[in-house]
Chain A
Amino acid sequence: MASTASIYTRVAASRIRAHFQYRLSFVLQVIGSFFLSFLDFVAILVIFHHLPHLAGWSLGEVAFLYGSSAVMFKLSDILMTNMDRLPVFIRMGSFDQVLTRPLGTLGQVMTGDLDIRHVGSMTQGALVLWIGVNRVAIDWTPERVIVFVAMLIGALVIFCSLYVATNAVAFWTMDAREVANSFTYGGNFMTQFPMHIYGAWMRRIFAYVIPLGFVNYFPSLYLLGKTDPAGSPPILRFMSPAVALGLAFIAGSVWRSAVRHYRSTGS
């Protein structure tokens, strides 16, 4: 077990080193991605230029949502870099190589490439989160610190699980892959705003079934001392870790059954 972990670590480290080879280009792209991701935040600033509260939430509170979602989504984006190439592996039959090695298929695909340049936009997310935290004045009791850390870890697990489950569709059909973007990039976009702004049916599907509400909205209600106008049960505020674990389990099962479905190109 220990040796498997060390193999993954060494493979991952070599992939990261590969991105450092062209140092100037690497640095420029990290800086570029840091600044470019602020353009995304401009929309929120423009909205708050017109009103002090959006559906009862201040700019600081929305920045808290935006930052907590962005920093963990970008991290999942780094971990899942190689998912983009999955359809190519399947089409070319090179997924065969993955199956012949005595390591897990998912771990191999994930460590196949790690695009570390995204640390630029991840830093932007962290900065917005920091600004948000400073503007909302949270009373940092030990309970709140635990819920905060659990929220961030839960968000990462939920985003990674969504990446795995939706990209596994590539094993059945190549073309429908863009649907995955609705849940990954769409999930990131959706969790920048408080869940109660969305219509009832949409909230039911995306907050509970997909469970994006547990990425940041429900724990934030507790951390920021807000109430949900839609009247969700208070217990949900502490359910993020359990939901994240459950979703990870489902994503793992989807991945395994997808891999079993794989038939090589046979050339």
Chain B
Amino acid sequence: MRLWWEVARRGFRRYATYRWATVAGVFTNSVFGFIRAYVYIALFAGLGDRIGAWDLPDTLTYTFVSQGLLMPLYLWGWQEIAETVYSGQIASDLYRPFDYQLYWLSQDLGRATYHVLMRGIPPFIVGALFFELRVPTDPVTWLAFTVSFFLAVTVSFAMRFMVNLSAFWIINERGVHSIAAAAWTLLSGFTIPIAFFPDTARTIVRTLPFVAMFELPVDVFLEHVRGLEVLGTLAIQATWALVLLGAGRVMLGAGARKLVVQGG
């Protein structure tokens, strides 16, 4: 346990070195937040009604929460493990006396903690200065959202882990990555809330694991789920996290058996 804590701390510190990149990233996340916010304002002005449980302040809050979660969830461009597969470095990494998947998960949770503090909260504050956002007042909601957030990161990590491991079988992991990234950007509810989808599409998408990354944490934040439903939501996220981590372990085992080291 102590090992994983240390790995997570290193993951946190590793990303804390690029200060100007953080400022630039917050600026960019905020600009996109503003564009999206005005599109939703136009949508609700024309509609004059809510969509399901969502009214305009809910949707604006969702916009800046999702802009803030973008970096912590790291949907785009993480290819560190794939690179070690191509370089052969993974062979010696697998020899190390600790669990390979848990090692990367710990470092990713450390990274996500840094990113939620430095890249997640600032765009939300910027958004709150210009728009009417909902901030939960119930401490239980904050506690549930914190748990939901780390489960979302775990689900996201488990998916990225598998996409990276596809490098064992496919020469062009980048192609797999770009297809996966496009699919989970839309199906997680990042592009537009899943609640806004037509009925059939919404029902189908909500049974997929992707909603565990954006839609479900945002439901908790907006208090669209209450009481026992919150536990149900967290249970769904935890189930997906375990299933996907398990699938990743199976994939790792299969890949490692296939691994041939051309010694030199």
Task: Give the distance in Å from the alpha carbon of A46 to the alpha carbon of B192 in the complex.
Answer: 8
* B18 lies within 8 A of A50 (CB): no
A183-201 residues with Cβ-Cβ distance < 8 A to B are 186, 189-190, 193, 197-199
* Residue of B24, B34, B41 touching A176 (CB-CB under 8 A): B24
Q: How many residues of B contact A (CB 8 A)?
A: 37
Task: Give the distance in Å from the alpha carbon of A199 to the alpha carbon of B31 in the complex.
Answer: 13
Q: Is B42 an interface residue (CB 8 A)?
A: yes
State the Cβ distance, B199 to closest chain A Cβ, in Å: 10
* A175 lies within 8 A of B196 (CB): no
* Residue of B21, B171, B172 touching A178 (CB-CB under 8 A): B21
* Segment of B144-152, B179-187, B220-228 engaged in the interface with chain A: B179-187
| Majority SS at the chain B contact face | helix
Residues of B within 8 A of A175 (CB): 18-21, 24
* B25 lies within 8 A of A178 (CB): yes
Residues of A within 8 A of B175 (CB): 25, 28-29, 32
* Residue of B25, B42, B191 touching A54 (CB-CB under 8 A): B42
Residues of B within 8 A of A36 (CB): 178-179, 182
* A43 lies within 8 A of B23 (CB): no
Residues of B within 8 A of A181 (CB): 28
* A51 lies within 8 A of B32 (CB): no
Task: Give the distance in Å from the alpha carbon of A123 to the alpha carbon of B101 in the complex.
Answer: 40
Q: Is A145 an interface residue (CB 8 A)?
A: no
Q: For A42, A176, A178, A198, which residue has the most chain B Cβ atoms within 10 angstroms?
A: A178
B1-59 residues with Cβ-Cβ distance < 8 A to A are 18-21, 23-25, 27-28, 31-32, 34-35, 38-39, 41-43, 45-47, 51
Residues of A within 8 A of B19 (CB): 175
Q: Is A1 an interface residue (CB 8 A)?
A: no
Residues of A within 8 A of B43 (CB): 47, 50-51, 54
State the Cβ distance, B156 to closest chain A Cβ, in Å: 18
CB 8 Å contact bits of A29-50 with B (1 = contact, 0 = none):
1001100100110110011011
Given contacts A32-B178, A197-B39, A198-B35, contact A178 B196 (CB under 8 A): no
* B186 lies within 8 A of A42 (CB): yes
Residues of A within 8 A of B46 (CB): 51, 53-55
Given contacts A51-B47, A181-B28, contact A46 B196 (CB under 8 A): yes
Q: How large is the interface on A (under 10, 10 to 19, 20 to 34, 35 or more residues)?
A: 20 to 34
State the Cβ distance, B50 to closest chain A Cβ, in Å: 11
Task: Give the distance in Å from the alpha carbon of A199 to the alpha carbon of B21 in the complex.
Answer: 27
Q: Is A4 an interface residue (CB 8 A)?
A: no
Task: Give the distance in Å from the alpha carbon of A54 to the alpha carbon of B38 in the complex.
Answer: 11
Q: Is A177 an interface residue (CB 8 A)?
A: yes
Residues of A within 8 A of B38 (CB): 193, 197-199, 202
User: Which residue on chain A has the smallest CB distance to residue B183?
Assistant: A39
* A176 lies within 8 A of B21 (CB): yes
CB 8 Å contact bits of B218-262 with A (1 = contact, 0 = none):
000000000000000000000000000000000000000000000
Q: Is A179 an interface residue (CB 8 A)?
A: yes
User: Nearest 9 pairs between A and B by C-beta?
Assistant: A175-B20, A178-B24, A197-B42, A175-B21, A36-B182, A182-B31, A176-B24, A55-B42, A43-B192
Contact sample, A vs B, 21 pairs, CB 8 Å cutoff: A25-B171, A36-B178, A36-B179, A39-B182, A39-B186, A42-B191, A43-B191, A46-B198, A47-B192, A47-B196, A51-B43, A51-B47, A54-B43, A54-B46, A175-B21, A175-B24, A176-B21, A178-B24, A179-B24, A182-B28, A197-B42
17 extra interface residue pairs, beta carbon distance < 8 Å, beyond A50-B51, A181-B28, A186-B28: A32-B178, A42-B191, A46-B197, A47-B192, A49-B198, A50-B196, A51-B46, A51-B47, A54-B39, A55-B42, A55-B45, A176-B21, A178-B25, A178-B28, A186-B32, A189-B32, A189-B35
